[in-house]
Amino acid sequence: MFELPIQQLIFLFVAAVAVFAAFNVILQRNPIYSALALIITMCALAGTFLMLEAQFVATMQVIVYAGAVMVLFVFVIMLLNVRTEEARQDRVKYLKLVAPLLFIALLGEVIFVARSVTTTAPPLATTGNEPAFGTVESIGEAMFSSYLFPFEATSVLILMAMVGSLVLARRRTMSEAETLGKLIEESGKPQLTPAEPVAKLEEKKEEIAA
Amino acid sequence: MQFSNLNLDYFSILPEIITALAGVILMLIDAFSKKAGRKLSPMFSLFALVATLASIIALWPRASYTASFAGMIVNDHLRLYFALVIVACGIIATLLASQFLDDEALPPGEFYALMMFATTGMLMMASAGDLVMVFLGLETSSIATYVMAGYRRTDLRANESSLKYFLLGSFSAAFLLYGMALTYGATGTTNIEGIRQILIAGKVIYPQMLLVGVAMMLVGFGFKIATAPFHLWTPDVYEGAPTLVTAILATGPKVAVFAAFLRVFAEGLGTPTAPAVGAQIYDNWINALAVMAAIGMTFGNIVALAQRNMKRMLAYSSIAHGGYTLIGFLTTEYAPVGFYMLTYALMSLGAFAIVQMLAREGDAKTEISDYAGIGFEVPNLSFPLAIFMLSMAGIPPMAGFMGKFYVFKSAWVSSPNLRWLVIVAIINSIISVYYYLYPIVVMFFRPPVSDFTKPRLSPMSQLALAITIIGTLYFGLFPNGALKVLQQKTPGAQQVAVQK
Chain A nearest-CA distance from B292, in A, is: 19
Q: What is the pLDDT of residue B477?
A: 87
Name every chain B residue with its beta carbon within 8 A of the beta carbon of A176.
153-154
Please give the pLDDT value at position A121.
Answer: 55
Of A116, A145, A180, Cβ closest to residue B70: A145
The alpha-carbon gap from A209 to the nearest alpha carbon of chain B, in Å, equals 10
Contact (CB<8Å) A163/B114? yes
Quick check: B133 and A166 CB within 8 A? no
Distance from CA of A3 to the nearest CA of B (A): 28
Q: B71: which chain A residues are within 8 Å (Cβ-Cβ)?
A: 146
| Per-domain boundaries in chain B | 3-486
- Name the residue of chain A whose CA is nearest to B134's CA: A150
Mutate to test the interface with A, among B100, B154, B500 (most CBs of A within 10 A): B154
Q: Who among A112, A165, A172 is closest to B208 (CB)?
A: A112
Contacts of B113 in chain A (CB under 8 A): 163
- Asked if A156 and B117 come within 8 Å (Cβ–Cβ), the reply is yes
- Is B153 in contact with A154 (Cβ distance < 8 A)? no
- Nearest-CA residue of chain A relative to B102? A175
Contacts with A182 from chain B: Cβ below 8 Å: none
What is the structure's pLDDT at A82?
Answer: 66
Residue contacts between A and B (CB atoms, under 8 Å): 113
Residues of B with CB below 8 A from A202's CB? 156
Given a cut of 70, the residues of chain A with pLDDT beneath it are 1-4, 82-92, 118-131, 171-210
List helix spans (H) across chain A.
Answer: 6-27, 31-51, 55-60, 70-80, 95-116, 136-143, 148-169, 174-187, 195-209
Cis check: omega of the bond before B229, within 30 degrees of 0? yes
* Residue B23: predicted pLDDT: 92
Residues of chain A with a CB closer than 8 angstroms to some CB in chain B: 109-110, 112-113, 115-117, 121-122, 141, 145-150, 153-154, 156-157, 159-161, 163-168, 172-173, 175-176, 179-180, 198, 201-202, 205, 208
Taking the C-alpha atoms of residue B390 and residue B401, their distance in angstroms, rounded to an integer, is 9
Task: Note whether A156 contacts B8, CB cutoff 8 Å.
Answer: no
CB contact under 8 A, A159 and B117: yes
- Hey, are the CB atoms on A153 and B140 less than 8 Å from each other? yes
What pLDDT score does B500 carry?
A: 32
**Candidate from A121, A163, A202 with C-beta closest to B110:** A163
Say which of A109, A156, A165 has its CB closest to residue B212.
A109
- Shortest alpha-carbon distance between residue B295 and chain A (Å): 20
Tens digit of pLDDT at every position of chain B (500 positions)? 455 677 778 888 899 999 999 999 998 888 887 777 788 889 999 999 999 999 999 988 888 767 888 888 888 888 999 999 999 999 999 999 988 888 887 888 889 999 999 999 999 999 998 999 999 999 999 999 999 998 888 778 888 889 999 999 998 999 999 999 999 988 888 899 889 988 888 888 888 888 889 999 999 999 998 888 888 889 989 988 888 999 999 999 999 999 999 999 988 888 888 787 888 888 889 999 999 999 999 999 999 998 888 899 999 999 999 999 999 998 888 889 999 999 999 999 999 999 988 887 777 788 888 888 888 888 888 899 999 999 999 888 888 899 999 999 999 888 888 888 999 999 999 999 999 999 898 888 888 877 777 888 888 889 999 999 999 999 988 888 888 888 877 654 443 433 33
CA distance B25 to chain A (A): 13
Q: Do A153 and B154 touch (CB under 8 A)?
A: no
The answer to whether the Cβ–Cβ distance between A145 and B1 falls below 8 Å is: yes
CA–CA distance, B401 with B441 (Å, rounded to integer): 21
Please tell me the distance from the alpha carbon of residue B125 to that of residue B116, in angstroms, as a whole number. 14
Chain A contact set for B136 (CB, 8 A)? 150, 153-154, 157
Question: Residue B29 pairs with which residues in a beta bridge?
Answer: none
Closest approach of B140 to chain A, Cα-based (Å): 5
Q: Tell me which residue in A164, A172, A202 faces B144 most closely, judged by beta carbons.
A: A164
**Which residue in chain A has the smallest CA separation from B366?**
A208
3-state secondary structure chain B: CCHHHCCCCHHHHHHHHHHHHHHHHHHHHHHHCHHHHHHHHHHHHHHHHHHHHHHHHHHHHHCCCCCECCCCECCCHHHHHHHHHHHHHHHHHHHHHHHHHHHCCCCCHHHHHHHHHHHHHHHHHHHECEHHHHHHHHHHHHHHHHHHHCCCCCCHHHHHHHHHHHHHHHHHHHHHHHHHHHHHHHHCCCEHHHHHHHHHHCCCCCHHHHHHHHHHHHHHHHHHCCCCCCCCHHHHHHHHCCHHHHHHHHCHHHHHHHHHHHHHHHHHCCCCCCCCHHHHHHHHHHHHHHHHHHHHHHHHHHHHHCCCEHHHHHHHHHHHHHHHHHHHHCCCCHHHHHHHHHHHHHHHHHHHHHHHHHHCHHHCCCEHHHHCCCCCCCHHHHHHHHHHHHHHHCCCCCHHHHHHHHHHHHHHHHCHHHHHHHHHHHHHHHHHHHHHHHHHHHHHHCCCCCCCCCCCCCHHHHHHHHHHHHHHHHHHHCCHHHHHHHCCCCCCCCCCCCCC
Measured between beta carbons, the chain B residues lying within 8 angstroms of A154 are 136
pLDDT of residue B496: 43
Q: What is the pLDDT of residue A199?
A: 61
Task: State whether A160 and B72 contact (CB < 8 Å).
Answer: no
**pLDDT for the residue numbered B480:** 85
Of the candidates A149, A159, A165, the beta carbon closest to that of B73 is on A149
Q: A164 CA to chain B: closest CA distance, Å? A: 6
Q: Which among A110, A145, A159 has the least Cβ separation from residue B3?
A: A145
Kindly identify which residue of chain A lies nearest to residue B117, measuring between CA atoms.
A160
Mutation to test the A interface, candidates B21, B143, B189, most A Cβ within 10 Å: B143
User: Which chain A residues are closer than 8 Å to B154 by Cβ?
Assistant: 176, 179-180, 201
